[in-house]
Structure 1
Amino acid sequence: MYKDIVNSTQHRKSPLPEGQWLMAQKWDHLLFMHLPVPPEIMKRQLPKGLDLDTYDGVAWLTIIPFRISDMRFRNMPPIPFLHSFLELNVRTYVCRNGIPGVYFFNLEADKLLAVLGARLASLPYFHAKMKMRETNGTFHYSSIRKGNSNIMFLGSYHPIFEAYYPKERSLPYWLLERYYLWTSRNNSLFLGGIHHKQWKIHDAKADIVKQNMANFLPDIVLNEKRLFHYAVTCRALFWPIKKVD
């Protein structure tokens, strides 16, 4: 299974990371909630060393609630007590040295040990009270950050129309086919590589009751027309996160 994933690279526009992958995860029932943002607003949020990436001159911020399962280290069984949990992340789109990727503003998870482990790897995780349930094909998702209950995501979503592979150079392809991630801590950049097969997605319909996961955005941006995608599942491989010189 993992060999098949590693050998499937025709959809990538960047090389595989060097060395061997370290960890694998299965992602299930993902909502991609994309918000268009004026570039001048997003540029102010980026750390030094990263260039904002835009599509037709527009920057984007994406919020992704989903479930992680079957998390394991290479050649090991699933991690006890941590192999399955809920996660939500908030990202924008960047480049460094010509390589496209994503920059994470924050990530939420409902397992404290997962949060603490990710923080050791320089990822900006927060512990949250999270729930996900499915009713007749609609997924109801809530995330309320512990220690700051004003930061939350409440909504439901479901796929519409048939699943498809986004066409190269389309906006969905540009948003989804990203295989390098950056984070920042103490004025330093950290880089991680991932790999998975090409995304197969549905367009989606969502009812967002409340969300303020990116509270640096003004209301005028939050009220812009949103773009929604849904993916049933994806297995992803992770390489070690390294500090960028």
Structure 2
Amino acid sequence: MGRIYTSNKYALPRKVPWVMKQTWNDILLLHYPVKKERLEIYLPPNLSLDTFQGTGWMTIVPYLMKSAGIRGLPSIPMGKGMPGINVRTYVKAGEKPGIYFLNLGIHQRFAAKLAKELFHLPYFSADLSFSKKGKMIEVESRKFPFSLSCQIRVQTSSFVMEKGSLGEWLLERYCFYTANPKGKLLRCDIFHDPWLLQDAEIIGLENHILRTFNIKPESSLPILHYSRQLHVHLWPPVSVK
């Protein structure tokens, strides 16, 4: 019998199987508090900004895609990993919270084109470099719209987010929303185990991505989360009624 996919908050589709799986390694999540009116202007109709204690959040996520595969076919290994990055905010349609991607980049033109066609996401080809030496991780991206330089030091201790915390609110989401070329709101359900995080600290950071959206965060120093690996399954887009 196949695995039963259930999130700790929301039921996932049972009649329709997942269509894609991915494994991400060395995931950095840089969270910035932002005034909600600065984010609401980027959302499509029928999608509301989700806030934590009245504040909106914007997160920049560099990572390494270690493998990816379509259902029914073997996963494609990617050696040391293909660098990717996404810029997201937090939303809800009705009472179901999720993620809305402001833009995404990946270090491979074909992969960017495929993801854009399958999931109607704003993908770009990105010029990213990702290096890891011991406990140090360095991410560099100089190509618009992903101008970022970040260095972090990872610790060995690991933990999961406490229930009701800001971290759980940011991370434990099981769908993302997007819109097709006609403007129809769509939802893609996702599954992953709860995030297992490791303590990490920012050593150096130069971030110009927020300028792309004319956003000045409430704090110039983001909250950092780091996870060594995450396995993700994605369902096909469905219309939001």
Change (3 A) 1:82 1:135: closer
| Aligned equivalent of 1:13 | 9
Instruction: Say which SS state the counterpart of residue 126 (structure 2) adopts.
Output: strand
The 8 Å contact of residues 65 and 89 in structure 1, kept in 2 or not, is answered as yes
Task: Give the structure-2-normalised TM-score.
Answer: 0.89
The 8 Å contact of residues 65 and 78 in structure 2, kept in 1 or not, is answered as no
The number of equivalent residue pairs is 237
Change (3 A) 1:208 1:118: farther
- Find out whether 1:38 has 2:55 as its counterpart: no
Range with bigger deviation, 226-235 or 197-206: 197-206
Q: Between the two proteins, what is the percent identity of the paired residues?
A: 29
Instruction: Say which SS state the counterpart of residue 114 (structure 1) adopts.
Output: helix
- Find out whether 1:211 has 2:198 as its counterpart: no
How big is the shift at 1:244?
Answer: 3.6
| Aligned equivalent of 1:159 | 154
* Structure 2 counterparts to residues 108-119 of structure 1, below 5 A: 108-119=105-116
| Aligned equivalent of 1:236 | 232
| Aligned equivalent of 1:106 | 103
Instruction: Say which SS state the counterpart of residue 43 (structure 2) adopts.
Output: coil
Structure 1 residue ranges without an equivalent (≥5): none
How big is the shift at 1:160?
Answer: 3.6
The 8 Å contact of residues 18 and 234 in structure 2, kept in 1 or not, is answered as yes
How big is the shift at 1:223?
Answer: 4.5
RMSD: 2.4
Distance 2:154 2:162 in 1: 19
Distance 1:74 1:26 in 2: 14
The 8 Å contact of residues 72 and 83 in structure 1, kept in 2 or not, is answered as no
The 8 Å contact of residues 105 and 183 in structure 1, kept in 2 or not, is answered as no
The 8 Å contact of residues 190 and 244 in structure 1, kept in 2 or not, is answered as yes
Distance 1:94 1:244 in 2: 14
How big is the shift at 1:82?
Answer: 10
Task: Give the structure-1-normalised TM-score.
Answer: 0.88
- Find out whether 1:97 has 2:90 as its counterpart: no
Distance 1:171 1:90 in 2: 18
Question: Which one-letter code corresponds to 1:41 in the other structure?
Answer: R
Change (3 A) 1:203 1:158: same
| Aligned equivalent of 2:141 | 143
- Find out whether 1:49 has 2:46 as its counterpart: yes
| Aligned equivalent of 1:127 | 125
